[in-house]
Amino acid sequence: MKKFLLFAFAPLLLAACASVQEAQNFANCTYALRGVEISDYNVNSLSFNVYVGITNLNRKEAAAIKKFEGEMFMNDVKVADVSFDNVRIEPGSVKNQKVYLNVPMETFSSKLLGLVSMGSATVDYHLTGTAYFDTPLGEVPVPVDIGRYGSSN
């Protein structure tokens, strides 16, 4: 009977070990806001390319983000929701994930709009959200909070 229970619980134990390993891989990632560039503008909106740098510090295992959901702020003003999904970062490497944002003009105050459109060094960019990854035991959320202060380049 003991052998039967051991064999019955073996797959669960293996799944739990795999889940712990995946969680450890993800925990070994660091995040940075690499850049924010204006890609297009018109009377109604400004479009940005935002580059999120994700570094996998683990030298043996890849890290895979199922999805990211967050918010982008400029000088403490929320300008857009940010999301991306299915990003794989190879062991010991950096992935610069490009995110396209289209922000309505009414989101900006006149002062912030002037700073952003001139590429001013006084614009502070901040991205906060949650990254999710799948494990055999379910989806695991990890908070992400990154910023870039100064130039939009």
Q: What is the pLDDT of residues 47-88, one digit of tens each?
A: 989 999 999 998 888 888 899 999 999 888 899 999 999 999
Mean pLDDT of all residues belonging to the chain: 80
- pTM for the whole structure: 0.74
Task: Provide the 10 A C-beta neighbour count for residue 26.
Answer: 21
pLDDT in tens, 86-95: 999 999 999 9
pLDDT band, very low/low/confident/very high, at 5 (cuts 50, 70, 90) = very low
The residue that leads in pLDDT, 153 or 7, is 7
pLDDT band, very low/low/confident/very high, at 28 (cuts 50, 70, 90) = confident
Checking if the pLDDT of 13 tops 60, the result is no
Per-residue pLDDT at 152: 43
Averaged over 138-143, what is the pLDDT?
85
- Domains, the chain, with CATH or none: 2-149 (2.60.40.1820)
**Percentage, residues of the chain above pLDDT 90:** 34
Element (H, E) at 17: helix 2-27
The residue ranges of DSSP E strands in 3-137, in sequence order, are 29-41, 45-56, 63-74, 77-89, 94-104, 124-135
**How far lies 73's CA from each of 52, 70, 139, 151, in Å?**
14, 10, 26, 14
